[in-house]
């Protein structure tokens, strides 16, 4: 069934996958108990939780004992990044990261250490050499996203070889499920609602053998990397939807790449409009463009009036519509920008309709 109203903001949150809905409803009656207890209801919950962890591990091609469920993607980012930094605090407190990271990384870096920023190129890609050169012996951890959450550019994570045994944290929230994970990381984070799982479930993966210490007060849970009592039904639903998304990935990505190419062409044909991000090595479902002489809030409002839900402003402060730090770091226009991100059910007809109405909306606002 096509999602109603032309919802084109899946980079903020993908509609719930049918596999997630089915698993969630089935698990609600079995996954309520504390999986750390010894009675039958607890053993049932533990079985569901272990199954969810095993499924996620299989989808990501990691070990099950490396996977922890957290309360959100932001929570997973904070725990992963700060846990690596804390384990190396005797070496220094510098948190090295790019200027185009999500606010969850930037805020964690400022809260838990001394941030050191590395710039990005005009397509939002970070130069590997810049990170290597900046990774001096006092760096506790380096953070590099797998793909940019605002413009979709895939980062060269697999090419990064850091000196001085500096660990690498990867924010994979934008790409988990949509693209295979890169290599070379010590810890990474994902967010279930980005791939069609329920909100309120994050995934933290810490490599076996990686030095990681909890940056927050200890809990009596067995998995010390987690954030407390797990939402077992939601974790199972997240795992089921991830499994389904990975199975469908090749077909979905090919279809979305073609549809986004169409949106890119329609936006590029508008006068005084800049389409940003790498046109090829990118997330398949996302494109961002900026229009001169147009207010971003007005553009979002007018497109919404025509039935299309899109994002504008910074991807991490969209409610306030502040100018995007990512676009500013790229040297791109920071006002009048629109991020279009397709759901797995976005149709050719919806994209045709969006591309048809876009010139009319932009011209109307400019006039």
Selection from 18, 361, 129, 352 nearest residue 338 by Cα: 361
Residue 126 confidence class, pLDDT cut points 50, 70, 90: very high
Residue 315 confidence class, pLDDT cut points 50, 70, 90: very low
Name the more confident of 324 and 199. 199
- What residues does each domain of the chain span? 18-244, 249-366
SS3 state at 64: helix
> Per-residue pLDDT tens for 140-166?
999 999 999 999 999 999 999 999 999
The predicted model scores a pTM of 0.93
pLDDT in the model for residue 334: 82
Is there a contact between 330 and 153 (Cβ–Cβ < 8 Å)? no
Indicate if the pLDDT at residue 16 is higher than 90: yes
Report domain 18-244's class.
alpha beta
Indicate if the pLDDT at residue 4 is higher than 70: no
- The β-bridge partners of 287 are 340
How many other C-beta atoms lie within 10 A of the C-beta of residue 183?
11
Least confident of 18-27, 273-282, 307-316: 307-316
- Name residue, tokens 């010894």: 38
pLDDT in the model for residue 321: 53
Instruction: Give the Cα separation of 82 and 105 in Å (integer).
Output: 9
> Per-residue pLDDT tens for 223-246?
678 777 889 999 999 999 999 999
Indicate if the pLDDT at residue 115 is higher than 80: yes
**Topology given in CATH for the domain delimited by 249-366:** 3.90.1150
Is there a contact between 241 and 196 (Cβ–Cβ < 8 Å)? yes
Instruction: Give the Cα separation of 206 and 265 in Å (integer).
Output: 40
pLDDT averaged over every residue in the chain? 92
Indicate if the pLDDT at residue 360 is higher than 70: yes
> Per-residue pLDDT tens for 199-218?
999 999 999 999 999 988 87
pLDDT in the model for residue 206: 97
Indicate if the pLDDT at residue 314 is higher than 70: no
């Amino acid at each position: 069934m096509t999602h109603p109203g032309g919802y084109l903001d899946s980079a903020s949150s993908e509609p719930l996958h049918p596999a997630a809905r089915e698993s969630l409803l089935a698990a609600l009656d079995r996954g309520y108990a504390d999986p750390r207890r010894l009675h039958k209801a607890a053993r049932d919950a533990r079985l569901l939780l272990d199954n969810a962890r095993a499924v996620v591990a299989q989808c990501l091609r990691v070990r099950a004992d490396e996977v922890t469920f957290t309360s959100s993607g932001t929570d997973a980012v904070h725990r992963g990044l700060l846990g690596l930094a804390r384990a190396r605090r005797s070496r220094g407190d510098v948190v090295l990261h790019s200027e185009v990271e999500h606010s969850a990384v930037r805020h964690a870096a400022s809260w838990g250490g001394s941030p050191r920023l590395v710039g990005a190129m005009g397509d939002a890609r970070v130069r590997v050499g810049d990170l290597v050169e900046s990774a001096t012996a006092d760096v506790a951890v380096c953070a590099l996203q797998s793909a940019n959450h605002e413009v979709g550019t895939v980062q060269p994570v697999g090419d990064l070889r850091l000196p001085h045994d500096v660990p690498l944290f990867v924010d994979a929230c934008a790409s988990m499920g949509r693209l295979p994970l890169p290599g070379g990381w010590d810890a990474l984070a994902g967010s279930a609602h980005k791939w069609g799982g329920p909100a309120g479930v994050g995934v933290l993966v810490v490599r076996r053998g990686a030095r990681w210490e909890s940056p927050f007060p200890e809990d009596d849970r067995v998995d010390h990397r987690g954030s407390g009592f797990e939402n077992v039904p939601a974790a199972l639903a997240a795992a089921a939807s991830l499994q389904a998304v990975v199975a469908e990935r090749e077909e979905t990505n090919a279809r979305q790449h073609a549809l986004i190419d169409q949106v890119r062409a329609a936006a590029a044909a508008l006068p005084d409009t800049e389409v940003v991000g790498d046109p090829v090595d990118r997330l398949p479902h996302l494109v961002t463009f900026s229009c001169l002489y147009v207010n971003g809030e007005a553009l979002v409002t007018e497109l919404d009036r025509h039935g299309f839900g899109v994002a504008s402003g910074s991807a991490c402060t969209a409610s306030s519509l502040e100018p995007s730090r990512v676009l500013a770091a790229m040297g791109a226009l920071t006002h009048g920008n629109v991020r279009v991100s397709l759901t797995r059910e976005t149709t050719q007809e919806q994209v045709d309709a969006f591309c048809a109405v876009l010139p009319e909306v932009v011209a109307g606002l400019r006039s």
